[in-house]
């Protein structure tokens, strides 16, 4: 989750409204403390990406409460498709912080009765969402990265989707995102940047199941 600060800077006979860029919770608190030390500000508030606001004391309590929950979520996903067997391999690489530590999850799955590579990509996205649900991720900002421009642009609502089966996947994904309270952002990346998720999808098609959680030092 990112946060933005707003405060009033007190000059002679005037108060100037100022706001910060979006920053992490830890940076927001550090900035807030330094601002208060100047003795020249008032009306300091912290806002999250949903518009909820806190004062500094409340913000410190909030971060203490969520410290042990997964946060700073980054998801890579990819779907592979075999036309001959109508099978799809789903791959997901998920980075997140929990407490003071950073983790990575690598996971894959093979499923049947797929009709296209785009459907495999949607299934991979939904597969990643299910992992986030199992982790207990809720009401957080999450960034999703993949090399399927079609899927990501359709999820953003920028491109229309005319295929009935893909629309069903869109509905399932949007329902899951709403249930989890996730605020998603979508980033299209190159296949090379997505090679880890792509490898997992290929391994799934080859019958190699993977689920690994790793502490990143």
CB 42 within 8 A of CB 10: yes
What's the whole-model pTM score?
0.79
Domains of the chain by residue range: 3-66, 71-216
Strand partners, 121: none
Query: From the first residue on, what is the mean pLDDT of each consecutive set of 10 residues in the chain (217 residues)?
Result: 90 88 90 93 90 91 80 94 93 92 96 92 97 92 95 93 91 96 94 97 96 92
CA 114 to chain centre: 26
Q: Indicate the SS3 state at residue 109.
A: strand
Q: Indicate the SS3 state at residue 45.
A: strand
Which pLDDT does position 71 carry in this prediction?
85
Helices 25-38 and 56-66 sit at what angle, rounded to 10 degrees? 160
CB 6 within 8 A of CB 21: no
* CA 113 vs CA 119, 154, 189: distances in Å: 10, 22, 27
Top-level CATH class of 71-216? alpha beta
């Amino acid at each position: 989750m990112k946060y933005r600060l707003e405060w009033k800077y007190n000059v002679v006979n005037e108060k100037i409204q100022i706001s910060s860029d979006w920053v992490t919770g830890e940076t927001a608190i550090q900035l807030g403390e330094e601002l208060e030390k100047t003795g020249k500000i008032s009306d300091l508030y912290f806002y999250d990406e949903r518009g909820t606001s806190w004062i500094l004391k409340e913000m410190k309590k909030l971060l203490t409460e969520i410290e042990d929950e997964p946060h700073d979520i980054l998801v890579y996903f990819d779907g592979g498709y075999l036309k001959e067997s109508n099978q799809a391999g789903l791959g997901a690489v998920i980075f997140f912080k929990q407490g003071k530590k950073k983790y990575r999850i690598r996971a894959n799955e093979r499923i049947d009765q797929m009709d296209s590579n785009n459907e495999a990509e949607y299934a991979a996205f939904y597969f990643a969402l299910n992992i986030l649900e199992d982790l207990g991720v809720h009401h957080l900002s999450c960034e999703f990265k993949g090399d399927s421009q079609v899927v990501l642009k359709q999820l953003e609502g920028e491109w229309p989707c005319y295929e009935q089966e893909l629309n069903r996947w869109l509905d399932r994904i949007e329902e899951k995102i709403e249930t989890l309270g996730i605020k998603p952002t979508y980033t299209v990346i190159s296949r090379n940047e997505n090679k880890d998720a792509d490898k997992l999808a290929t391994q799934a098609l080859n019958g190699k199941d993977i689920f690994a959680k790793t502490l990143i030092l």
